[in-house]
Amino acid sequence: MIVNGEGSMLNGFANIMQRSIPKPPPGNRPLKTLERVLSKAGLGSRTEARSWIGGGRVSVNGRVVRDPDAWVDIERDRIAFDGKALRSEQRTYLLLHKPAGYITTYRDPHGRPTIYDLIPDRERYLFPVGRLDLDTSGLLILTNDTQFAERLTNPEYHVPKTYLVNANRPLADDDLDALRRGIELRDGPTRPARVTRVGESAFEIIITEGRNRQVRRMVEALDASVITLERIAIGSVRIGDLPEGKTRALTSDEVRTLSGVGARR
């Protein structure tokens, strides 16, 4: 089912079209705007997604849709980009040890390496569950299961993600206590975090949010900066001894565990 989103509105005398934020229709179905589905799938930015949709490159249930704000049911609707389905019938769950220096998108206009250069079967379409920025390494899950990905990335489920952080200076106990209590950032206070010291300037932190560059910004709020940042676990699934740049399939037990981790609040 497709539900049209809100349109654009005229912004004052400058005659600039400013898109309003569409609100989902009532009900409990897992709906997302079409542009966001493409962006979260790692194909490109939301701006690029809007251009592709407007250009007729995206279809839903076999019909071309040109409205980027159209609401789609991520469990029921069949979405295709350039004729290629975003989700295949057989669900796949892949764990990648992302090295620093790779970006978490399908292609990069600047020619930088992407995580898709590391995936064995490039013909199989998988999208990343959340993102790790260019300079962050560690555990990244790729899948074609949109419901599974939504559960792990939606902050309402409070799914724990564990990071190993090395800062540029020694951190006092008061610094780590501030992280535990929550840090005031420009987009609001962070939730309390679990923090364990592992060295004079190194610590593990477990957070249940996924804001842009959140851990780096929390450290910067302490008048420090991050030297290295590695995600070592999502829920109880850890990166272990998987070499950088390598992948492995999640076990059925790991998929079951991650599918049930967290609780919506």
pLDDT digits (tens, 9 = 90+) for 143-190: 878 789 888 998 888 999 999 999 999 999 999 999 999 999 999 999
pLDDT digits (tens, 9 = 90+) for 247-264: 999 999 999 999 987 556
Q: Are 37 and 65 in contact (CB under 8 A)?
A: no
Q: pLDDT class for 6, splitting at 50, 70, 90?
A: very low
Q: Would the pTM of this model clear 0.75, i.e. be above it?
A: no
Say yes or no to pLDDT of 202 above 50: yes
- What pLDDT is attached to residue 85? 84
Q: What is the 3-state secondary structure (H, E, C) of 30-74?
A: CEEEHHHHHHHCCCCCHHHHHHHHHCCCEEECCEECCCCCCEEEC
**Active-site residue identified among 67, 82, 121, 133:** 133
- What pLDDT is attached to residue 261? 72
Average pLDDT score over residue span 64-77: 90
Q: pLDDT class for 69, splitting at 50, 70, 90?
A: very high
Q: Closest by alpha carbon to 212, among 96, 99, 132?
A: 132
Average pLDDT score over residue span 15-44: 63
Q: pLDDT class for 10, splitting at 50, 70, 90?
A: very low
Q: Where do the domains of the chain lie, and which CATH numbers do they carry?
A: 2-85 (3.10.290.10), 93-155+238-260 (3.30.70.580), 160-234 (3.30.70.1560)
Q: Are 85 and 78 in contact (CB under 8 A)?
A: yes
Q: pLDDT class for 26, splitting at 50, 70, 90?
A: low
Annotated catalytic residue 133: yes
117 exposure class (CB count in 10 Å sphere: 0-12, 13-18, 19+): exposed
